[in-house]
Amino acid sequence: MKRKLLRQTLNEWRANVWLIVEMIIVSAIVWYINDYLYVHVATRLEPTGFDTSHTYMAEFRYLPEGSRRYTDYGEATTERNRADLLSIIEAIRQRPDVEEVSLSANAEPYFQNFYGMGLNVADDTTEISIYYRQISPEHLRTVGYQPAEGFTIGQLEEALRQGKPLMTEFDKSSPHVSGHLSSTDLLNRRVKNPRDTSMTITIGGLLKPVKRTNIESEYFISYFEPIDMDQLEPRPNYKINIRVKPEADSRFPDSFNADRERLYRRGNTYISDIKPYSQIRDTADSDNLVTIRKYVAVMVFMLVSVFLGLLGTFWFRTQQRTPEIAIRKVNGATDRSVFGRLISEGLLMLAVATIPALLIDWQLCHYELNTVYGAQGYFSPGRFALTAGATAALMALMVAGGIWFPAYKAMRIEPARALADE
């Protein structure tokens, strides 16, 4: 049976070759899309390293000099603005519906800005590419950062109060590490201050990896420098982060805005806006979701094209082979065997097409033309096997779907009538 099927398929190679070429092209495209979707789904399933439920971000601004309410503090402007901002933060902290308040710069979840620096170990040649962030100690609890194994949030907060920076965990094999040290090797070792390499400082503790957004891998290495409140120069890139009590979340925005002008204005400093992090997350995700929908639409179009191509091809073949099918049935072939014969023919062509398609997929990985996934880069055996398997399964479903109706029609052929017509 198998030998006859192979011989018949080879005999019809002129009709089959273009269908196989179409399968190769579509299979490579579907694999590329599957790989893209795999990376984004796997990235989204990774832990973010933070928890922004019931959390808000408030922005502050300063009155312009031309405003009638503006007060000129002269040389004391920086000190007065600092005192006013800290007073506003403390006033927010005193609200009965607030659990915690923090100040941060470049450390707000779902913001895709990148402030990269190089971190050098004082007595070693290791250099680490870091994502530089500034936070107050309260920020750990406000946005729900997770301590690395062996640490507690209390210990990490105390390290920040002592002026020691924190880092996220990383392995020495990380692409952002040039050297032989991992994050645990840096504990209690001196590193050069990334903003002033003439100074050295001790790493105070480790956090679990922190992603910038849901749609970005966690392989970036974050460096959290404590904000020196006594030397703070308030700028609009600093953000106020507020965690509220769960039972007060639904009414917090309206309640806060009602009090904003009366309670949270000091001198020239005022709260200009407040947003829930859920809204910021949705905005950050929106562009990525649009791209995913486009990829899915292209994949569906390609699969439908295979379906229609197979449907038309095998419909025509069934019509051409009606006498042959009738003779087979006269000689004892069952409906099931006729159906299996046609389905097997399509799957055989798919198997032939899959081999060159896999070679194309491999080349896309080799030349880094597919989607990068964190520290794994462009290829890992498990990822390739999973996406190739998913592609083969989808293609097989489309092949079976495209052949099913012509095969069903073939099963319904009445041998006597077909032979009489012939």
At residue 345 the predicted structure's pLDDT band, cuts being 50, 70 and 90, is: confident
> What pLDDT shows up at residue 372?
67
User: 176, 356, 291: which is closest to 364 by C-alpha?
Assistant: 356
Q: DSSP assignment of 314-347, as one string?
A: HHHHHHHTHHHHHHHHHTT--HHHHHHHHHHHHH
Q: Which H/E stretch holds residue 225?
A: strand 222-226
| pLDDT tens-digit map of 243-266 | 999 999 999 999 999 999 888 999
Please give the average per-residue pLDDT across 115-135, as a whole number.
89
Q: What is the pLDDT of residue 421?
A: 58
Among 325, 356, 337, 346, smallest CA distance to 397 is for 346
Confidence at residue 1, expressed as pLDDT on a 0 to 100 scale: 47
41-63 mean pLDDT:
91
Identify which has the larger pLDDT, 303 or 390: 390
**Rounded Cα gap, residues 217 and 210, in angstroms:** 9
Question: Which amino acid, residue 180?
Answer: H
- Average pLDDT score over residue span 84-109: 95
Single-letter residue type at 75: E
pLDDT, average across residues 344-350: 84
Q: What is the pTM of this model?
A: 0.78
Residue 284, CB-side half-sphere exposure with 13 Å CA sphere: 19
Q: What is the pLDDT of residue 12?
A: 60
Residue 278 — very low, low, confident or very high, per pLDDT cuts 50/70/90? very high
Q: Tell me which amino acid residue 386 is.
A: L
Please give the DSSP secondary-structure letter assigned to residue 248: G
Q: Is 72 or 407 the better-scoring residue by pLDDT?
A: 72
* pLDDT of the residue at 26: 86
Sign of the alpha-carbon torsion through 389, 392, 394, 400: negative
Task: Please tell me the predicted confidence (pLDDT) of residue 100.
Answer: 96
Interacting residues of 93 by C-beta distance below 8 A, sequence separation 6+? 100, 101
Residue 63: exposure state from Cβ atoms within 10 A (0-12, 13-18, ≥19): middle
For residue 330, pLDDT beyond 90: no
At residue 219, the pLDDT reads 65
pLDDT at 416 (0 to 100): 66
Residue spans of beta strands (DSSP E) within 63-173: 98-105, 116-120, 127-135, 166-168
Contacts of 30 (CB under 8 A, 6+ apart): 299, 302, 303, 391, 394, 395
pLDDT of 3 higher than 80: no
Rounded percentage of the chain residues whose pLDDT exceeds 70: 90
Cα first-last separation, the chain: 26
Q: Using 50, 70 and 90 to split pLDDT, how confident is the model at 99?
A: very high
What CA–CA distance (Å, rounded) separates 209 from 227?
20
Integer Cα distance of 62 and 14 in angstroms: 76
Average pLDDT, the chain: 85
Tell me the pLDDT tens digit for each residue of 183-234: 998 887 889 888 888 889 999 999 999 988 877 776 689 999 999 998 888 8
Instruction: Report yes or no: 107 and 159 within 8 Å, Cβ to Cβ.
Output: no
Higher pLDDT: 59 or 349? It is 59
